[in-house]
Structure 1
Amino acid sequence: MGTVVIDVMLKSEILDPQGQAVAGALPRLGFTQFTDVRQGKRFELTVDGEVTGEVLAAAREAAEKLLSNPVIEDVVRVAELTDETAGQPA
């Protein structure tokens, strides 16, 4: 069994109220090193068998057609989830 991870983010020109709320709260909690926050969504798709190039292509297509709103969001990552990549950014 394999897992594909898909990260979707709001386009940079789209207002991000949730990100702004978090950005405003961080300094009040002592986290002053951060200057901006953008929120996004993450999907994990499980497949029977190995994650192949064909599976990744299908996952990207699903992300573009179903998991994201292309008017306001970008699909920023479609990759196999492994122990090495589990916590890595896009």
Structure 2
Amino acid sequence: MKATVHVTLKPGVLDPQGQTIQRASEAIGFARIADVRQGKFFEVELSDDGDLEAARAELERFARDVLANPVIEDYRVEFLSDLPAASEQE
């Protein structure tokens, strides 16, 4: 069972790396890039015992306790089964 975890800085938390990327994009001609926020992306493989709710709860706890700093970061967990297939996105 595969899942992804997106970790991003909370709104209002200073993002110097994102600011640097935004300024650099402006300098090389990307005039419409008004703001950039950087984050982290994790792909996670879980053992599949058929209990999606238990897997979701464990991954939520793992994301909160290990991957993210809940004081300054938000996280979002997605199981690949939650995402529409490529043919459904068109």
TM range (shorter): 0.7 to 0.9
- 1:22-80: per-residue Cα shift (whole Å, max 9, x none)? 000111222111100000011111023368222122111111111111111111x2011
Distance 1:21 1:78, change over 3 A: same
| Residue of structure 2 in register with 1:66 after alignment | 66
CA RMSD of aligned residues (A): 2.1
Q: Is residue 34 from structure 1 mapped to residue 33 from structure 2 by the alignment?
A: yes
| Residue of structure 1 in register with 2:78 after alignment | 79
* Greater helix share, structure number: 2
| Residue of structure 2 in register with 1:21 after alignment | 20
Instruction: Determine the C-alpha separation between the residues in 1 that align with 2:28 and 2:56.
Output: 39
Instruction: Determine the C-alpha separation between the residues in 1 that align with 2:42 and 2:51.
Output: 15
Which protein is bigger by CA-based radius of gyration?
2
Identity %: 39
Distance 1:8 1:51, change over 3 A: farther
Q: TM-score by structure 2 length?
A: 0.80
Q: Which runs of 5+ in 2 are unaligned?
A: none
Q: TM-score by structure 1 length?
A: 0.80
